[in-house]
Amino acid sequence: MKLSVARRALLVILVAWLVLGCARRPAGATNLPTPAQSTVVGPGDVFVVTILGEKDLPQEFRVQPDGTIDFPYLDRLTVAGLEPQAIEDLIKKGLVDRQILVSPQVTLVVKQYNSKRVSIIGAVARPGSISWSEGMKLVDAISQSGGLTPLADGDHVRITRIVGPNRRVTAIVNVEDIIDGKLSDIPLQAGDTINVGARMF
Contact between 131 and 114 under an 8 Å Cβ cutoff? The reply is: yes
Q: What letters, b where the CB count within 10 A reaches 16 and e where it falls short, cover 172-185? A: bbbbbbbeeeebeb
- What is the tens place of the pLDDT at every residue in 95-150? 999 999 999 999 999 999 999 999 999 999 999 999 999 899 999 999 999 999 99
Contact between 123 and 198 under an 8 Å Cβ cutoff? The reply is: yes
Per the domain annotation, does 27 fall within a domain?
Answer: no
CA pair distance 7, 12, nearest whole angstrom: 9
Strands 68-71 and 75-78: antiparallel
- What is the tens place of the pLDDT at every residue in 47-64? 999 999 888 888 999 999
Per the domain annotation, does 51 fall within a domain?
Answer: yes
Per the domain annotation, does 58 fall within a domain?
Answer: yes
Query: Looking at the chain, how many residues does it have?
Result: 201
**Residue type for 198, please?**
A
Q: Compute CA distances 160 → 13, 73, 155, whole Å.
A: 37, 45, 16
Residue 61: domain span: 46-112
CA pair distance 173, 123, nearest whole angstrom: 15
Domain count for the chain, please give it.
1
Per the domain annotation, does 125 fall within a domain?
Answer: no
Per the domain annotation, does 104 fall within a domain?
Answer: yes
Using DSSP's 3-state secondary structure scheme, residue 171 falls into strand
The pLDDT value recorded for residue 32 is 83
Per the domain annotation, does 24 fall within a domain?
Answer: no
Per the domain annotation, does 162 fall within a domain?
Answer: no
Q: Helices in 35-110 by DSSP H: which ranges?
A: 84-97
CATH number for position 89: 3.30.1950.10
Q: What is the pTM of this model?
A: 0.72
Per the domain annotation, does 95 fall within a domain?
Answer: yes
